[in-house]
Structure 1
Amino acid sequence: MVNYEVTVHTGNLAGAGTVNNVFIKLVGEEGESKQKWLMSVKGVSAVLIGMAPCFNVSCPSSIGKLVLIELNKHRLPLMPEDSWFPAKIVVKSPEGDTYTFPIYRWITGSKVQRFREGRALTVLDDTHHLGRYSRQQELQKRGEDYCWDVYSEGLPHCIKADNPTSLPCEVQFSFTKTTEFFYTATTGLTELKLKGLSCSKKNWNNMDDIKQAFCRHTSISDYVQEHWQEDAFFGYQYLNGVNPALIRRCKTLPSNFPIKDGMVFLSGQGSLSDEMEKGNIFLCDYKLLDGVKENTINGKKQSLTAPLLLLHKTPDDQLKPIAIQLKQVPGEDNPIFVPSDSEYDWLTAKVFVNGADFSHHQLNTHLLRTHLLAEVFAVSLLRNIPMVHPLHKLLVPHTRYTLQINFLARQFLISKTGIFTLYSASGGEGMLTVLKRALSSLTYTSLCIPDDIAERGLESVPNFHYRDDGLKLWDIIYKFVDGVLSHYYKNDAAVEQDTEVQNWISDIFEHGFLSQACTGIPQRFTAVCDLVKFVTMVMFTGSGQHSAVNSGQYDYGGWMPNAPISLQRPPPTKKGTTDQSTLLQTLPDVSTTVQGVSTLWLLSKRSSDFVTLGQYPEEHFSEEVPSKLIKNFQGELEVLTAIIKNRNQALEVPYTYMDPEQVENSVAI
């Protein structure tokens, strides 16, 4: 008779323990144990929250190298059925070997659950028949649990679920996350001291009323309120605000933006063509919004323009707007506004650009390019890659909470009764139009920040902290991913022959990018480097990129005129027709403002169970090499944090959104 020492680690989460009977079976290459009832010496279940009790499982003889364990539980008579969250199970064999079985998932019901030993194995390396059988069974079950659904034709597909509680337990919010999220959602107006204004359909009387209404400040929102009218700060936001993905170097003016040299003032420098040749002229084109049906809010049709904006890098390295055309088609009723126009003509033009930027940012840069894509990556991973696979171990921490937060976004933000549907200029039918256009024009290279920066010609723009921090962060993630995947894939053939990985990318191409080859998204992987780049993009999108376009929403949008959710008046068709009164009539009414700002407050709120990029409280890897690579990864992230903090000390407006210490592992808010 030989004994196996079994230590059961229950997760330190609210409700993680169980009072049900728990049973375990050890399965090895040369046999298996009988089913063992895990109980303490006191005769009751010992799998309580945060506990790690030890048990002996006896076998007549050694069962060889352990392949997997089987767990199941049954409720005691007169006791309720509950859920159990085991973190891991560690088994010490009579030969002195230690096997770790990472679990980190909720076990509900009484069905048998199989878990593999912690050593990562690709499908090619998993040669034992029991191992192959278990991964096939796991993927079959996951295919049933994670089904695709179509929210709207022309958009990336999403997980099929009736409500958040119908999502698989392993991807639902924790009790802490649920409590905090819904508390913030229901008390946001109160926290911002705006509850008494939420039903007012009146226009704002003056800017001071707006200032007095908003009592919740951040250091950056205060700066925005003070400097939002300044051209230099207006331009700065295209580099380091919440939508740094639109600006590009302008080599040739678009044919529908008929600017001549005499129309713009370049501080005594050369001609516009000379400045374009030097790389000092930049363009922001909101053509994605052209012709989109405007929303009707509080019975009034709103205005949504598709501006063209030209910016100039000055000799003192500031980026300033020099021309704005508010509609795509040039004409007498579509003047080109310039800084030398009257104060309110120029300010009104910038406000219309801010309004367009709000819709472009929320729908394209934020919702589509981080949230919806992260969901596609997550569902495809959970459907096609078993827990024992190194890719699952690498990426599953970066899917945390994504499926539920996206379900809630569809339910509360973009549904027929959602906040953005009801209160944004692009809400309703227009919202779906923008999203479909954005997906059809999305490219793989635009999701990879080194390629994206090069394509937009922004390599040498000064004071571009999003670029500087983002490129460093991408390189750190790439090095980590390359180290892990190169450890398991020794050559390109190993990638090409991995059917699970090929099914993963095929699922992403079909359900995320709707089989559009023009996106450049890989349809299969033929080399290790191709897989490394794509996985780096997946991790970067769900962590650094999401932080860059999400975390500063209240910072830059808490002062509403800087990021109006909607605009009430059409754009001016002539110069000299604006003043403070027309500007106030253009800005969203009080209730629309309140709904928009309180939503930005919710979306910017960090939860207490935030998991910082590179921190892995759930230990999916147990081998020495990946464990060492994780430590190196964490060390390099700490160095980047120190570099960013040091740089920020000298900045009037610190840029923190790519600081690894402020970046979450996943799209979780």
Structure 2
Amino acid sequence: MGRYRVCVATGAWLFSGSHNRVQLWLVGERGEAELELQLLPARGQVEEFEHDVPQDLGPLQFVKLHKHRSLVDNAWFCDRITVQGPGALEEAAFPCYRWVQGEGVLTLPEGTALLAGDNASDVFQKHREKELKERQQVYRWATWKEGLPLTIAAGSEDDLPPNVRFHEKKRLDFEWTLKAGALEMALKRVYTLLSSWNHLEDFDQIFWGQKSSLAEKVHQRWQDDELFGYQFLNGANPMLLRRSTSLPSRLVLPLGMEELRAQLEIELQKGSLFEADFILLDGIPANVIREEQQYLAAPLVMLKMEPSGKLLPMVIQIQPPNPSSPTPSLFLPSDPPLAWLLAKSWVRSSDFQLHELQYHLLNTHLVAEVIAVATMRCLPGLHPVFKLLIPHTRYTIEINTRGRGQLISDEGVFDKGMSIGGGGHLQLMRRAMAQLTYRSLCPPDDLADRGLLGIPSALYAHDALRLWEIIARYVEGIIHLFYHGDDVVRGDPELQAWCREITEVGLCQAQDRAGLVCLGA
């Protein structure tokens, strides 16, 4: 006979507790024992029990649990279960971190990370295979739009598996923020309904409410060339700027601009010439909002880096929206102030389109969803890569599902209010998808390719590299515990299945496109 101390931790989220009774079993190498518990898990509580078991179970392998249901299937969020057996120096941990509901028996393996085949017994391998088979029935792929990454098969957030849904506090915070934003917009609309805007200062009527020191600084200096250049280095979208290695072929300098060409050549030779090219927007059809035609531009911006670190625009070329007028318009800092400001405003508008759709939606949200779904389909909970990734995929699937239903859907926010809506946003993302490379997703490679290393005023680059180094050092330290060489990586069937699921399935045969390699393979 041996005494076992069992601790059961319930999540702290709203409604994590349950009024339903929970039954537990301990499973060891030498036997199994049902514990006579009357467990009614309470939110945020750790309940501790001691029980005598008549047989020696040996090293514990699993904890099984079954939540009985009464009149209502009251779901329970189980964080983890820990067990200390007779003579054991340390507790055995059985992580759960999921909702428990229904009539089935949930089996939790002891939580030490293992590669497939790492254990002498095959009970863990059978568990892994059963777990993935069940997950693959729940986490299924769907095509949202042709030419874009696959998504989870769910029409709305209500169709999602409960374990990828927002927890209640997150849901309330999210929905309250949406309602507060909608209310603020409605109040500002009423406030400005009877007033006309005749001066730039009139825009101040809509910039009230919560402010930060940075927002106030931008508000005061948004017309300055210095801030305009600074935003390419350190603003919301620092992903487009690159150091010029030659004058862009699409830069059209007509006769009479020899002096400007000479200035550009001088900066080019010094290595201080930079460019931001919005060519991805060229030819994208603009939206029609309330029967009024909108417009898009594909600017090209040439900038110079001063010795002080300031990045200043030298020329802005605006590609005309009308294909019958192929000659682009050039704008210089010496132009009339409002003409130059208008050109910079077109650039900022175009930057918004690329930032939101290419670098934010596609490269962040949609690619992350592919990795999240592939992880659930291909990596069991015991896999070390699963353990590394799962905290970072939290909420990804629900926020994307909500976005597809509310922001970028037919008649969604983009269609109703954005110049690139009405289908243009999908064309842009397809173009961006065709250019997506693995190197572009890795800051050290991306920054090197864009010539942005070693620039003191490139604060985004410095921060990105520091964060990358910290994350890489931690991840490599964990990975090297399990993968001692390339042969181990190649010989891990679960990891290889995960790589193929990402590139060949989720990213639509991305391995066939030049530059996008199979992750980890």
TM-score of Structure 1 vs Structure 2, range by shorter chain: over 0.9
Q: Which moved more, 1:366-375 or 1:125-134?
A: 125-134
The equivalent of 1:218 in structure 2 is 212
Query: Is it true that 1:336 corresponds to 2:335 in the alignment?
Result: no
Conserved in 2, the CA contact under 8 Å of 1:258 and 1:330? no
Q: 1:292 aligns with which of 276, 284, 297?
A: 284
- After superposition, the Cα gap between the structure-2 partners of 1:482 and 1:100, relative to the gap in structure 1 and judged at 3 Å, is same
Q: Which moved more, 1:147-156 or 1:59-68?
A: 59-68
- After superposition, the Cα gap between the structure-2 partners of 1:524 and 1:446, relative to the gap in structure 1 and judged at 3 Å, is closer
Q: 2:92 aligns with which of 93, 99, 119?
A: 99
Query: Is it true that 1:327 corresponds to 2:315 in the alignment?
Result: no
Q: How does 1:347-426 map to 2 (within 5 A)?
A: 347-426=341-420
The equivalent of 2:181 in structure 1 is 188
Q: How does 1:102-501 map to 2 (within 5 A)?
A: 102-191=95-184, 194-197=187-190, 204-216=197-209, 217-259=211-253, 263=257, 271-327=263-319, 333-501=327-495
Q: 2:420 aligns to what SS in structure 1?
A: coil
Pairwise CA distance, 1:52: 2.0
Distance in 2 separating the partners of 1:429 and 1:202? 33
Q: How does 1:3-14 map to 2 (within 5 A)?
A: 3-14=3-14
Conserved in 1, the CA contact under 8 Å of 2:370 and 2:507? no
Query: Is it true that 1:507 corresponds to 2:476 in the alignment?
Result: no
Pairwise CA distance, 1:523: 2.7
- After superposition, the Cα gap between the structure-2 partners of 1:272 and 1:195, relative to the gap in structure 1 and judged at 3 Å, is closer
Distance in 1 separating the partners of 2:433 and 2:190? 37
> What amino acid is the match of 1:155?
L
Q: 1:106 aligns to what SS in structure 2?
A: strand
1:517-539 deviation line (CA, Å, top 9, x unaligned) = 3253333635xxxxxxxxxxxxx
Conserved in 1, the CA contact under 8 Å of 2:319 and 2:327? no
1:376-410 deviation line (CA, Å, top 9, x unaligned) = 11111111111111111111000111111111111
Q: Which moved more, 1:123-132 or 1:408-417?
A: 123-132
Pairwise CA distance, 1:368: 0.6
The equivalent of 2:31 in structure 1 is 31
The equivalent of 1:631 in structure 2 is none
Higher relative contact order (Cα pairs below 8 Å, separated by 6+ residues): 1
The equivalent of 1:531 in structure 2 is none
Distance in 1 separating the partners of 2:325 and 2:454? 35
Pairwise CA distance, 1:259: 3.1
1:172-213 deviation line (CA, Å, top 9, x unaligned) = 111111111111111213346735349969974332321022
Pairwise CA distance, 1:297: 1.2
Pairwise CA distance, 1:253: 1.5
Q: 2:513 aligns to what SS in structure 1?
A: helix
Distance in 1 separating the partners of 2:381 and 2:366? 23
The equivalent of 2:77 in structure 1 is 85
Using the size of structure 2 for normalisation, the TM-score is 0.94
1:485-511 deviation line (CA, Å, top 9, x unaligned) = 101222222211111111111111023
Distance in 2 separating the partners of 1:507 and 1:203? 55
Distance in 2 separating the partners of 1:454 and 1:3? 60
- After superposition, the Cα gap between the structure-2 partners of 1:273 and 1:470, relative to the gap in structure 1 and judged at 3 Å, is same
Between Structure 1 and Structure 2, which shows a larger proportion of strand residues? 2
Distance in 1 separating the partners of 2:35 and 2:343? 73
Q: 1:103 aligns to what SS in structure 2?
A: strand
> What amino acid is the match of 1:450?
P
Q: How does 1:516-531 map to 2 (within 5 A)?
A: 516=510, 517-523=512-518, 525-526=520-521
Pairwise CA distance, 1:248: 0.6
Q: Which moved more, 1:459-468 or 1:422-431?
A: 459-468
Pairwise CA distance, 1:25: 1.4
Distance in 2 separating the partners of 1:200 and 1:427? 25
Conserved in 2, the CA contact under 8 Å of 1:6 and 1:90? yes
Distance in 2 separating the partners of 1:147 and 1:203? 52
Q: Which moved more, 1:201-210 or 1:483-492?
A: 201-210
Distance in 1 separating the partners of 2:519 and 2:312? 44
Pairwise CA distance, 1:333: 4.7
Pairwise CA distance, 1:131: 0.8
Aligned residues: 516
Using the size of structure 1 for normalisation, the TM-score is 0.74
Distance in 1 separating the partners of 2:472 and 2:482? 16
Pairwise CA distance, 1:127: 3.5
Query: Is it true that 1:2 corresponds to 2:2 in the alignment?
Result: yes
1:296-339 deviation line (CA, Å, top 9, x unaligned) = 11210100011111111123321111111111789775221111
Conserved in 2, the CA contact under 8 Å of 1:102 and 1:118? yes
- After superposition, the Cα gap between the structure-2 partners of 1:460 and 1:281, relative to the gap in structure 1 and judged at 3 Å, is same
Distance in 1 separating the partners of 2:350 and 2:73? 52
List gaps (5 residues or longer) in structure 2. Answer: none
The equivalent of 1:53 in structure 2 is 47
Conserved in 2, the CA contact under 8 Å of 1:148 and 1:160? yes
> What amino acid is the match of 1:462?
P
Distance in 2 separating the partners of 1:57 and 1:385? 34
1:544-583 deviation line (CA, Å, top 9, x unaligned) = xxxxxxxxxxxxxxxxxxxxxxxxxxxxxxxxxxxxxxxx
- After superposition, the Cα gap between the structure-2 partners of 1:508 and 1:438, relative to the gap in structure 1 and judged at 3 Å, is same
Distance in 1 separating the partners of 2:499 and 2:292? 45
List gaps (5 residues or longer) in structure 1. Answer: 40-44, 527-669
Distance in 2 separating the partners of 1:428 and 1:311? 33
Distance in 1 separating the partners of 2:324 and 2:337? 23
- After superposition, the Cα gap between the structure-2 partners of 1:261 and 1:121, relative to the gap in structure 1 and judged at 3 Å, is farther
Percent of paired sites with the same residue: 39
